[in-house]
Amino acid sequence: MQTDADLNEPLLILRDVAIGYHPSDSLVNIPNLEVFPGEIVAIAGPSGIGKSTLLRTIAGLVSPITGRLEVCGAIMPEKPPRGHLGYIPQKLGLVRHASVKHNVELGARAGIKSRKLRQQRSIEAIDIMGLSEKSAEPIRRLSGGQQRRVATARTLAQRPKLILADEFLSELDEETLTSVLEAVTDYVRESKAALIVVEHDISRAKMMADKLLVIDDGRINPFVKGTKAMEVNM
Amino acid sequence: MKTAIDGKIIASTFMISLILAFLVLNGMVSDWGRLTGGFGNLKNFFYQSLWPPDWSVLEPQVYPVCTARYPFEFTCSTAWIGVIETIKIAFVATVFGMALSLPLSLAAARNLSPRWLSYSSRFILSAFRSLPSLIWAIFFVILIGMGPLSGVLAMTVYTVGYLGKLWYEAMEGLNKTPLEAAQAMGLNKYETALNVVVPESANDLISHSIFLFEYNFRSGTIIGIVGAGGIGYYIDLYLRFLQYDKVVAYLLIIFLVVLIIDFLSIYARSFFNEEDDLRIPSWSEVFLGIFSSANEADDLSDR
C-alpha cells in the first residue's frame, strides 16, 4: 500500500547519467531526470540514437557509464525490489513455445506471491487485452499485434510500480491500440505507477505523455504537457 | 562471424582439406594393393561363414522352459530377451541421464550462469564424454560386476556428458530477450530456468533426448560384449564359438530394431517442431516409411 509520502517520492531518478555500450562513446547524457508516480513519460527521437539503450539501462540490463541511477528506491547496481519493475522490450521477450497463460503468469509470478491471486490477475489481464480465447495458444501461433498484447498483459498482471515499454503500441490496429493504451494508462493513473515509453510516432507520444523527452545529438530535451514549449517545438 | 564468407571460400577450403586428407592418408599407408586382397577375403568370409544367417536365435531356449504360447514362443529366444534388455538399459540410462543433465547444462550455459560455474560444469561434462560408453562399461563391470546395472551406469554417465553438452548449446542459442525480460522483472535464476529456459528450448531438449535413446540402444549392443548386459552378451558368446551365421542374425535383428526406433523417433520428434505448418506423419506412414526411399527418410529427419 502506497502512502502519501510514497506518492511524492520519484520512482526514477537519474543524475548526470551517461549511457552507452562503450565507456569512451556515450550515446545519451542525462543531467537530471525524475519520474513520479502516476506520470507517463515518452521518449522520442530518430532510430539508433539510444532510446532503447536508455530503457535497457533503467531496466538494469546495461550499466550506465557514469552517474547515479535510482530505480524504485534502489540505487544501481542494487536491483529494485522484485516485481517493482515491468519491462516490455521491443522484441517483447515472450516464451514463444509456451502458452499465452504461461507468459502472463510469468509477470504475475514476479509481482504476486499468492498462487491463487496470480492466476486471478493473469486471467483478468488476459481478458483486458481481449485474448481470453487465445489463452492456451502458444505464442508462436499469434500475430505480431497479438503478441504485443500478451507482453502488455504480462506487465499488467505483474502490477509493477514502474513500467518500461519499448514501442509497445506498434503493429496494433487503431481500435486495438486505443484499448491497449487505455488499459495501460488507466492502470498507471489508478495504481499511481509510472510509465516510460519509447515511441517513434511523435504525435502519439505527445498525445499519451505528460512529459516528452526528445533525444537529439546525445542530449535529452524535455517538454512538459500543457506548456508552450511542447506545443511550439513539437 | 567477423567476416562474410562466400561459397567460393567454403568450396576452396573444403577442396584443400580433402587433398590434405589424402596426402596424410598416403603417408600412413605403405601398400595400397592390400585393398584389393581385402575385398577378396571379405567375399570368402561372407559366403563361407556369414551367409545365410542362422535364424535359430529366434527359437525358444531349451532352458529355462518357455511358457509362452504360439505364436509368441519367440519371446523366449535369446534374440528377443537380448533386444528387450538392451532397450530397457537404453531407456533407463536415457531417463537418468536427462535428470542429471538438466542441472548440469543449466549450470554450464554461459548465458545463465557465472563463468566459474559454467567452466566447472563443462569440465565435468567433458570428462564424462571423453571416454566412450564401452570404456565406461568396462570400468563399471570391474567396479560392480557383470550385468545390466553396469550397462545402465555406463550409459548414464556417457548420456550425461553428451546430452549435457547438446542441451547447454541449445540453451546458449536461445534468444536473449525473454531472459532479459525475466531478469528485469526480478525473477530469480531458478524461476527463469524453469519457466523461460526449459519451455523455450523444449524442442531441442526433447529432440536431443530421443536421439540419445537411439544412440544408447545402438551402443547398448556393444557394451554387452564386455559383460554389461543386453544383446551384446549373446553376440560375444557366438563370436567366441566362431558361429558367425548366428552373429549375422543378431546384427540383422539389431538393424531392424534400430530402423523401427529411428522411425518412431522421427514420429515423436515431429510433435516438437518449431514450425506449425509441418505435417505430422501418420503411424502407417512411419512404419511403411521403413520400406520407402532414403530421400523421404532424409526429408522427415530434416523436420
pLDDT tens profile A86-108 = 999 999 999 988 899 999 999 99
* CATH code for the domain of A9: 3.40.50.300
pLDDT of residue A7: 66
pLDDT of residue A234: 42
Between A132-136, B218-222, B242-246, B283-287, the lowest mean confidence (pLDDT) is in B283-287
Domain count, chain A: 2
What are the structural domains, with CATH classification, of chain B?
81-241 (1.10.3720.10)
Among A138, A159, A180, identify where a domain stops. Answer: A159
Between A66-75, B174-183, B254-263, the lowest mean confidence (pLDDT) is in B254-263
Residues A79 and A10 placed together within one structural domain of the fold: yes
Q: pLDDT at residue B299 above 60?
A: no
How close A97 gets to chain B, by Cα (Å)? 6
Residue A103 lies in a domain: yes
Q: Which domain holds residue A128?
A: 94-159
pLDDT above 90: percentage of residues in chain A: 40
- Contact: B178, A81; criterion CB under 8 Å: no
Mean pLDDT for all residues in chain A: 86
Per-residue pLDDT band for B122 (boundaries 50, 70, 90) equals very high
Report the C-alpha gap between B26 and B217 in whole angstroms. 36
Between the two ends of chain B, the Cα-to-Cα distance in Å is 26
Residues A75 and A98 placed together within one structural domain of the fold: no
| Residue B282 CB neighbours (<10 A) | 10
pLDDT tens profile B51-107 = 888 888 887 777 777 777 777 777 788 888 888 988 998 999 999 999 999 999 999
pLDDT of residue A150: 94
How close B251 gets to chain A, by Cα (Å)? 40
Residues A32 and A62 placed together within one structural domain of the fold: yes
pLDDT tens profile A4-20 = 556 678 899 999 888 88
Q: Which burial class, exposed, middle or buried, applies to A137 when counting CB atoms under 10 A from its CB (0-12, 13-18, 19+)?
A: middle
ipTM comes to 0.88
The answer to whether A139 and A100 are in contact (CB under 8 A) is: yes
Mean pLDDT for all residues in chain B: 82
Chain A interface, Cβ < 8 Å to B: 56, 59-61, 79-89, 91-98, 102, 106-107, 109-111, 140-141, 158, 160, 164
Among A159, A179, A214, identify where a domain stops. Answer: A159
- Contact: A60, B187; criterion CB under 8 Å: no
Find the closest chain B residue to A162 by CA distance.
B185
Q: B61 CB contacts (<8 Å, ≥6 apart)?
A: B76, B77, B78
